[in-house]
Amino acid sequence: MTGARLPTITRILRREAAGLREPVLNRVKRETRDPYRILISCVISLRTKDEVTDAASRRLFALATTPRAMIRLGAARIARAMYPAGFYRTKARQIVAMSRIILDGHAGRVPPRLDDLLALPGVGIKTANLVLGEGFGQPAICVDIHVHRISNRLGLIRTRTPEESEAALRCVLPRRLWIDWNRWLVPFGRAVCRPVSPWCSRCALRPGCPRRGVRTSR
């Protein structure tokens, strides 16, 4: 049943996401195609609103865009540029530390391997997968709260955590959709399929959606 519904879901999500606000990380990828700036933007974005991430990343990249330049900038100036992003002081220290590792251990280039990315300070599986997908074009599913929530609401998977969702989606989605899944569901989750009281009345997916876990909607 899931396989039969997937082409319809995919077509609708692609169309709906195209009319919504582009996530900051998509903009960074589109404008720079630079894995390092995608990595840094993703670190800034953790527990931070998209509009704050956008402004903070622009201010920081006006000062430094390479690991060497970021190290020279130093944690204090990086933190000032990122403020008021969440945990900006901690993230600034992590950015300096990961930049040193990239410079000294990877010749100044972001490593295109999952294990190497996970070894960087402050980088978890979500960030690593996003960098692999958006920075290197490798098939990877970046599962954030929106991807986890909506995939379950649609009945494509039945999982309890984002980590479980990543494994389940690898079995459900064809590899050609792995990168796009996050691109589509993040803006859709922010605008329509919200965590609390989603806009089911205006959702193009409503006719075939089982709305798993939805208690109240608009």
Which residue of the set 34, 104, 126, 180 is catalytic?
126
Please tell me whether the peptide bond between 121 and the residue prior to it is cis, using omega within 30 degrees of 0: no
**Among residues 2, 1, 12, 4, which one has the least CA distance to residue 180?**
12
Confirm whether 49 is a catalytic residue.
no
Cα–Cα distance for residue pair 64/158, rounded to 1 Å: 43
Return all residues near 62 (Cβ < 8 A) that are at least 6 apart. 81
**HSE (CB half, 13 Å, CA atoms) of 165?**
24
The first and second tokens of residue 62, run together, are 């006006």
Which residue of the set 29, 54, 91, 144 is catalytic?
144
Return all residues near 11 (Cβ < 8 A) that are at least 6 apart. none
Rg of the chain (C-alpha set):
18
Confirm whether 116 is a catalytic residue.
no
Which residues are known to be catalytic? 126, 144
